Structure 1
């Protein structure tokens, strides 16, 4: 029997096991919204949340109070890691000068953010897939850029003078033969137990995407269980470091990666009028400004953690 797949606006989710929520968040080149959340309660009741597709609200005012996840025990934390995590240094800078989009405040003046029903209560353990990587990177290069993407979220990396007050943590757990749990039609498939970053095929129009599996939590944000990231190298070309020769040809790996890492740790999209923020919903070629968090990105993380 084939797995039941629920689809919505160009994305899909295979029906997960009971007491699980699955979300897909897609970054598009034209700024159209693709993504939703499907939840299967412990009794098998299925529900949907399409609110993540709305990027028009300037701020999210509905964050629930932070509480310790009822599913997380001290043993879980020790099993994952009980020592501070050192984030990798950022790759070299870029040579491209960017002009702020008309009508959008500067990154340090724009306090807009939205948040998802998702939080990493422990440490995000992630793996490097052993298949393809964007920009034809080697395994070591992929590790450097993916780790830096995640680190820019967990360290609140910004040029606005905001101190890092976010205790979110990550840990690189090694290479795996598993792939990201995503189909070529931008469908989240059954989880395999490993949060994997890789590259492959997604639906045309999707530059990169996150599939996140969480435990539903009625008292606070859902507890992150697994989150995979895939870059679409079938339809788009990527570069490690866009220079003046980019000429609208490539997407920057670190630009897209930082945006996707934001989703993992609970940040949602912000829409038109907020193009200088990392979580702006549109992916522009040769763009690098998503590499550095803006005011709203930092405030969003602080509201979650």
Structure 2
């Protein structure tokens, strides 16, 4: 109830912006848009600028609302589940035309072990990348499993190095020109908004934050993590400008070392108290999205880091596969 109320207040405030003239009179709506969350068809072939829709929310698919970005900007929301992923995006072009997209990858893990991570060279790229280091902070008090923020920070540091340095066991040189680092703590939380059981991203605020919180859903139904990435296109070049990650601290148990955690015992039937998900593995996958890699969809790629979903009680996706390294090279080149 409180989440719905908070989102309703946010929508009301958003709708109020730009609707009053300096004299206090209500300005005419040039496009006659409905109130509340818009459908993509409401803005079809229309300019969000001319319709005064920048800052409004549009259903990007499955009832997930994303905020209309300023011209030349986009927002991508990645939602990782234990056994799959969903991605939603919204782009506003230079003329103010809005397009949305969605991708759902799997709702289960394949039963077969599949090819090894060094046998697959699959990768898919986003339209954006970073042209400067992704410098992020963790929210004060974020610890997930044992009350230690130092352990959480260490996992975050390792995960960004895993992706930028291309750590792998394939004998490949993984160093790329991508860069990033944890630069401290902040009182600010990630820029996420709750919306009636769904989730969305706020407006880009220039902060890069990793935090933890309660995500919608329950055990085995909730997401493990969300990532929001904002990008801008200027002079034909699309660059990421900010990104936030949130880990689910309410619905799952976590570990920093699945190989030594005595509680990390796979159990059938599902036993929430005996299942653990590896913090570094999930963060490494999410870092892939931050840097511009897309979820993979073929079952044969299930041992690559960018295959969506994370098995419990394993840290195998901390180490990149051949396709993951090649994807980062394609975006950033070799160092």
Say whether the fold is shared (TM-score over 0.5). Answer: yes
Q: 1:225 maps to which residue?
A: 241
Work out the CA distance in 2 between the residues paired with 1:110 and 1:35.
23
Q: Which of 16, 19, 26 does residue 69 from structure 2 map onto?
A: 16
Q: Verify the 8 A CA contact 1:135 1:253 in the aligned structure 2.
A: no
SS in 2 for 1:216: strand
Question: Residues 240-280 of structure 1, C-alpha deviation per residue, up to 9 Å, x if partnerless?
Answer: 11236412311110010100011111111112221111011
* Higher mean displacement: 41-50 or 234-243: 41-50
Q: How far has the Cα of 1:301 moved from its partner?
A: 0.8
Q: How far has the Cα of 1:172 moved from its partner?
A: 2.4
Q: Verify the 8 A CA contact 1:113 1:296 in the aligned structure 2.
A: yes
* Higher mean displacement: 261-270 or 237-246: 237-246
Work out the CA distance in 1 between the residues paired with 2:146 and 2:113.
36
Q: Verify the 8 A CA contact 1:10 1:203 in the aligned structure 2.
A: no
TM-score in terms of structure 2 length:
0.71
User: Are residues 1:266 and 2:292 paired?
Assistant: yes
Q: Which of 43, 46, 57 does residue 5 from structure 1 map onto?
A: 57
Q: How far has the Cα of 1:46 moved from its partner?
A: 1.3
Q: Verify the 8 A CA contact 1:180 1:230 in the aligned structure 2.
A: yes
Q: Which of 136, 143, 151 does residue 133 from structure 1 map onto?
A: 143
TM-score in terms of structure 1 length:
0.78
Q: 1:65 maps to which residue?
A: none
User: Are residues 1:191 and 2:204 paired?
Assistant: yes
Q: Which of 304, 308, 319 does residue 281 from structure 1 map onto?
A: 308
Structure 2 runs not aligned, ≥5 long = 1-11, 15-55, 267-274
Over 3 Å counting, the alpha-carbon distance change for 1:16 and 1:134 in structure 2 is farther
Work out the CA distance in 2 between the residues paired with 1:218 and 1:108.
38
Structure 1 runs not aligned, ≥5 long = 56-99
**Bigger RCO (CA 8 Å, 6+ sep):** 1
Q: 1:34 maps to which residue?
A: 86
Work out the CA distance in 1 between the residues paired with 2:190 and 2:131.
22
Work out the CA distance in 1 between the residues paired with 2:183 and 2:69.
25
Question: Residues 165-205 of structure 1, C-alpha deviation per residue, up to 9 Å, x if partnerless?
Answer: 41101132321111111134331112222100010122323
Aligned residue runs from structure 1 range 41-120, under 5 A = 41-50=93-102, 52-53=103-104, 102=112, 104-120=114-130
Q: How far has the Cα of 1:101 moved from its partner?
A: 5.8
Q: Which of 201, 211, 215 does residue 228 from structure 2 map onto?
A: 211
RMSD value, Cα:
2.1
Q: How far has the Cα of 1:304 moved from its partner?
A: 1.0
Q: Verify the 8 A CA contact 1:10 1:186 in the aligned structure 2.
A: no
* Bigger radius of gyration: 2
Q: 1:73 maps to which residue?
A: none
Aligned residue runs from structure 1 range 151-170, under 5 A = 151-170=161-180
